[in-house]
């Protein structure tokens, strides 16, 4: 595959993820959109590294995947806690989280 094919597919992945993030209001769908966007960026790094015959793209993509895994774990924890206490994962309803705190900063 040529570099143009890889870049065009990566841009398509990134735009698909961006569309999911902007359109959907569920926290898990937004998380999936972010992961698709990250995969598009990683694909560009790997394709550029392959095109120029360097392993730098693969090393950078490995670090990006490590950061994405950490981000995924934290976001899934937030989603789990929001569903446990608010019974919803919709972004529109998560602003109620600050209203549900009592005087001791604990959730009711």
Average pLDDT of span 2-31: 93
* Fold of domain 3-97: Helix Hairpins (1.10.287)
Q: Is the pLDDT of residue 103 over 70?
A: no
Least confident of 57-66, 75-84, 97-106: 97-106
Average pLDDT of span 24-33: 90
Rounded Cα distance between 25 and 3, Å, is 34
Q: For residue range 68-84, what is the model confidence (pLDDT) as tens digits?
A: 999 889 988 988 888 88
Cα-based torsion angle of the residue sequence 31, 35, 40, 41 in order, rounded to the nearest 10 degrees? 100
Rounded Cα distance between 26 and 46, Å, is 31
Locate 6 and state its tokens. Answer: 């890889």
Average pLDDT of span 21-49: 92
Coil/strand/helix, residue 16: helix
């Amino acid at each position: 595959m040529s570099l143009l094919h890889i870049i065009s597919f990566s841009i398509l992945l990134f735009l698909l993820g961006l569309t999911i993030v902007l359109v959907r209001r569920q926290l898990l769908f937004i998380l999936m959109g972010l992961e698709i966007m990250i995969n598009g960026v990683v694909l560009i790094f790997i394709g550029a590294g392959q095109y120029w015959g360097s392993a730098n793209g693969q090393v950078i993509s490995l670090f990006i995947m490590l950061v994405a895994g950490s981000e995924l774990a934290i976001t899934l924890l937030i989603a789990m806690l929001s569903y446990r206490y608010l019974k919803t994962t919709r972004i529109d309803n998560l602003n109620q989280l600050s209203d549900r705190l009592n005087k001791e900063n604990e959730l009711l």
